[in-house]
Structure 1
Amino acid sequence: MWTFLQLTGVLITFECVIGAEARLKRTKALKRSKRDWVLPPSKLWENTDYTKKEFIAKIRSDKSQEATVEYYLSGPGANEPPFNLFVVNHGNGYVRITDVLDREKCQEYSLKGIAKYPNGTLAEDEIPLNIVVLDKNDNAPSIKLQKGTVKEESKKGTLVMRIKGEDADQNGTNNANLTYSIVSQEPPGKDPMFMINKYTGDLYVRTEPDREKQSFYKLVIKATDMGGAPGGLTGTGTVEIKVVDINDKIPTLEKTEYTGSVDENVDDVVVMRIQALDEDEKFTDNWLTVFKIVKGNEDNLFSIETDKETNEGILKLIKVQSLDLGLQIENVAPFVDGTAYPIKILVKNVPEGPTFAPSTKEIPLSEDPSKIPKDGIIAVFPAVDPDTGEIAEDVSYAKSYDPDNWFTIGEETAEIKLNKKPDRESPFLVNGTYIGKLLAISKDMPPKTATGTIAIQVADSNDHCPTLSSTASTLCSDKNTVFITAFDEDAYPNAAPFSFAIVPEGTKGSWDLEVINGTTAALHSQIALWPGVYELQVEVKDAQGLSCPTAEVFIVDVCICEETEECTPRMNLLKSTSVEMSAGAIGLLLMALCLLLLIPLILITCQFGGKDTVFPEQFIDLETEKSEELMSYSTEGRGDDKVGGSSPHFTIML
C-alpha cells in the first residue's frame, strides 16, 4: 500500500516494508509522466541494518524541472544530535541512514526536507519527513527491590502489596506485557506463605503469619514479557516482607508472688525490681508493660514505674509500715484485662533521729522596740520524734547559721531569743526576711542531727525620716527652676509619697514649690536670679507625716552660663549633703576683708606722709618720682536694683 503526501510542490511517498517484487509492481502502477514519485518508508525496525540500502526515502521538488535544485535535511538526526544519522544526496534527494536504530534511545525522528537553488534561496517551503522506529523485543524485564509489610495473623487472601516490573520495550505492546511468578521464599517453611496474581503482580497471604515464629520473609519474583509466552524474556527481583507485630501475647511475671523488705523512714527508696515477660516485639507498646498497684496502696505510700529498657517494674516506697499489695500488669497497647500478682512488703523499724516539722518556721516580728517581748524570746522551735510526732527527747540545740548574730537558741529549750534590735533595712535581709538555721542533735552515739530554718519576717516601722538625696545644685542665671528629690529607708507605707514645703524663715529669695511626683518636686524662683549662692530651707514629710527634726538646707549656686546650658566651673565648691561654715572660717573671711581695706590707706600714707607720719622710717620719700599714674579698675556686674545706683568704681593712686 502506498501513501502520498504533497506539500508546496514537493511530493513525498511513505512505503511499508514489503517484498521487492510487490514494490516493483506498485511502482509501475503509480508512475506518472510529469514527475517522479518518491517512495520513502515511514517506519524502520530497530536493530536492523539499513546502511547498505541506496536510500530509505527520496525527496524531489517540481522546481527541479525548471532549474537546478539542491536538497538538504534539518532536525534531530541530521544537523542536530545525533548528527548525520540521516544524510541526503544534494543532487538527487536520496535519503540514506548511516547507523542501526535503537527505539529505546529514540522512538521517532522528525526531519524536514529543504530544497534550495544554488544561490542559497529556497526553491520550496520545508516539508516534514517523519521516521518512526518500530519496537523489537530486545529488552528483558526487571524488578527493583521492593519492601512491604503484613500484620501477623492476617487471613488468607489478604493483599500484601502490588509488585511492579519494568520493561524498556514499547508500552502497550506484547514486548512489554509482563506476567509474574514466585521463584523462591526465604525461609522456605512448611508451606508457601504468599501467592501472586500472574497478570497483576498482586501479592496475597496464603498462610497466616506468626511474628513470634518468623518476622521476616524474602521472596524472589520472576517477570516474563510476551505475556508469558514461550520465548519471552525474563528477569527477577527481590521482595522483602516484614511481619508487623500485634499485641497477641499476654505479659507475665517471673514469679507468682513477691516478698521484700525495707527499712522504715526512708524516702523514695527502691523496694524491688519486677521483671515482666512478653513475647511481643521488644521496645514496642505491645511489649512494654504497665504496672498498677490495685490493692494496699490506698494512702499512695508506694509508687511503681516501668524501666523502658528492661521492661521491669520499679517498686518504690515512700514511707509505710508492713503492707500487702496487689500488682496488676498489662501492655501499653490495648489487649485484655491484666493479671494481678500479690506482693508483700515488710518494713523494718529503724531508730530515727530528730526532725523539724515543719522544716521552716516563719516568725513575724516588728522592728518597733515597743512591740518586741520584754524577755526577747520571739519563738520556740523544738524538734520532734518522727515515729510519734511528739517533741523529741534527749536532744540539744545549737545555731548553725546566723550571719548578723541576731539571736541565740536555748540549748535545752529551743527558745529563740533576740540579741539585737531587728532592723528591716539591714543588708542581711532579703525581701524583709532574715534567715537563720538551727541544729537539733541527739544524745545517742553516734549522734543524729536535723536542721531547721527560721525565717524572721521583719515588719517595717516608721523609724527613718525622709531626706534629700542631694542638697546642692547649680543653676544658670537665665533659668529659674531646680529639682529636689527625697528618699526614705523605710518601706511602704512609711515612705513615699512625700510632701514638700519651703520654710520661708530659712530661705533666701522668693520661691514657689511644685510637686512633680511622689519623690520629686520643682523649685521655681519668682524673680530673676543674680549670680551667687542661695539657701533654701525645705521640709520633707513621708506618707505618715513624719519629717526630720530639722528642715534641710538646699543650696542653689546661680552662675552665668556661656555658650552652653551648664554653669561655668566656679571657685566655690558645693557639698552634696550639707553646707556649713564654721566660726573660724567666718573670722578668716573678715580679716581678709579688713586687709583689703587697709591697703589703700597704706598706699596713701606712703604718698603724702612726712617725718611726722606714722612709721616714717618705713617709707621712702617719693617726691623724686616726677610721674604719677592713675590705674582705674572698673568692674561692672549685676547687682541690686536700686534707684540712682551705679556700678562700683575704684581709683587707686600709685
Structure 2
Amino acid sequence: WPVLGGPFLLLFLGVLHCGCELSARTSSTADEKANAEGISHGRVRRGWVWNQFFVVEEYTGTEPLYVGKIHSDSDEGDGSIKYTISGEGAGTIFIIDEITGDIHATERLDREEKTYYTLRAQARDRLTDRPLEPESEFVIKVQDINDSEPKFLEGPYIGSVPELSPIEHPVLASRIEAKMKTTQNSGTSVMKVTASDADDPTYGSSARVVYSVLDGEKFFTVDSQTGVIRTAVADLDRETQDRYELVIKATDMAGQMGGLSGSTTVTIVITDVNDNPPRFPQKMYQFSVSESAAVGTPVGRVMATDADMGENTDMTYLIRDEEGGELFRPLDYESKRTHNVVVEAINKHVDPRFVDLGSFRDQTIVRVSVSDADEPPLFRPPEGAVMEVQEDARVGALVGIVTAVDPDMENAPIRYAIDRVTDQEKIFNIDTVTGAITLGKILDRETAGWHNITVTAVEADNLSQVSQTSVSIRILDVNDNPPELATPYEASICEDAKPGQMKDKNGSMV
C-alpha cells in the first residue's frame, strides 16, 4: 500500500468498517444471485477490501496516476478473479487492472470542476464470469491543492467617507486632537471588500484568505480577516485631495509563503463637511456711484468664496455703515464724498463639531466714492416759503424774495419764473434774476385771503436743471370797509315820546 499519511489512515479504517457493513447489508441479495447461478451456500462469505480512494488534482506526470486498489478477501492471488469498475469516468478517466485490482487515473483532474466520482466495483470468476462478491459502490475523491488564487468578484469597488472622519472618537473635537489619535484599526469604517477562493475550504489553508493594502496604506487600513477598510488618519481633507485609489490584496494559505494572491482597486471618494469658512478674496473693495443715483441703485458686487461644496457653501451677507450711519439714503456729493461700509459673510449651516476650527464668517471693507452730478437748483428754505402782504398794497409792491442756489457751483446764475397755471390772473410777478415777487394787481382780502403759487428756478447755463417750490401768500386785512347792518330795520315812534323812552315788544312806551 502507498503511504498516505495520518488522515488517510483514518479514512482507510473507516472504509474498512463500512465495507463490513456493506457486505452484511447485501448478503441476502448475493444469496439470491448465488442460487440463480449455482453458487454453493456452504462456502463462508467473504467481503470486499479496498482503500478510501483519493487522487490529487492537477497531476502533471507522464504516467497514469495510481489511485488505489480494490481487493476481495476471496482472492488468493492465482489470477482467477477478474476485477471491473463502472460508473463516472470508468474506462476513460479511471482504468483498473483486472488481475490486481489496481486503479489508475489517466487524465488530469480539477477539484474545482468536480470534487468526487462515484463508481461501482465487481469481482467475477474469470472462467465462468460469475460474480464472487456483490457489486459495491465506492467514491474517488479529488484531493485539493492550492491552485486557485483569491478573486474579488465584485471589484473594482467604489466607497466614500466624510473628510476629517475621526480616529477612535465618535465625535471629532478638534483637528489637532484627531491627528493625535491614529491607533491601528480604530478609524472610521469605509466599506468592506470580499475575495473568494475556489479551493477546498475544509482542507488545509488553501481557501483561507487574508487581506492587506498594497497601495494607499498611509491613509487607509484593511482588517486582515474581515476585509473592512478603515481610515488610518484623521486629517483627510477633501479640499486637498477628494479621492484615493487603493490596491487591496487577498492572499490564501492564511498569508503564508507560497500562497496565491489576487488584488482589486478601491476608489474612495472623500465627501464634504462644513470645515471651511467664507473668505472674501479682497480685504477692501472700491466702488463709485453718482450722487444722482436713486436709493436701491446697484453700486457694485462683492462675493465671498467657500472651499466646501453644496449646502456647506450657503451663506448670508450683512452690511453696516462703518460709522454707524444710515445706509439707505440719498447721496450728496457736496456733503459727503466717501462712504465706508462693512460687508460680512456668514455660513448658514455651521457644523458644531468643527466650531473649534475658527469663526465661520469673514468681512471686508467697501469704500464707495460719490461722484458729482449736475443737480438742479436748491431753494432755501427747501420746504417752501410763506409770505404776507397788506391787501391795500399798491401794484408793484414787494411781496417777498425766493432764493435758489446751484449746489454744484457757487454764485452760478439762476433764473426764476412763476408757473402761470398756479397764477392764471397774473396777480403776482417775479424778477427773473433776483427772485423778488411783486404785486401785479390790486388785492382784496375779502375776496381771497390766501394765494398759493409755484415758483420755478432754472440754471442759466443748463436749462434742463429745473426745480420748483411752493409759495403761500397771506393777504393781511386793512380797515377799508364801514360797518353794515346784517338786515334792514324799520322802527316807529310816537310823536309824544319823551327822550330816552323805548317801545316794548307789545308797542307800549316804557
User: TM-score normalised to the size of structure 2?
Assistant: 0.44
Structure showing greater relative contact order (alpha-carbon pairs closer than 8 Å, 6 or more residues apart): 2
Give the structure-1-normalised TM-score.
Answer: 0.35
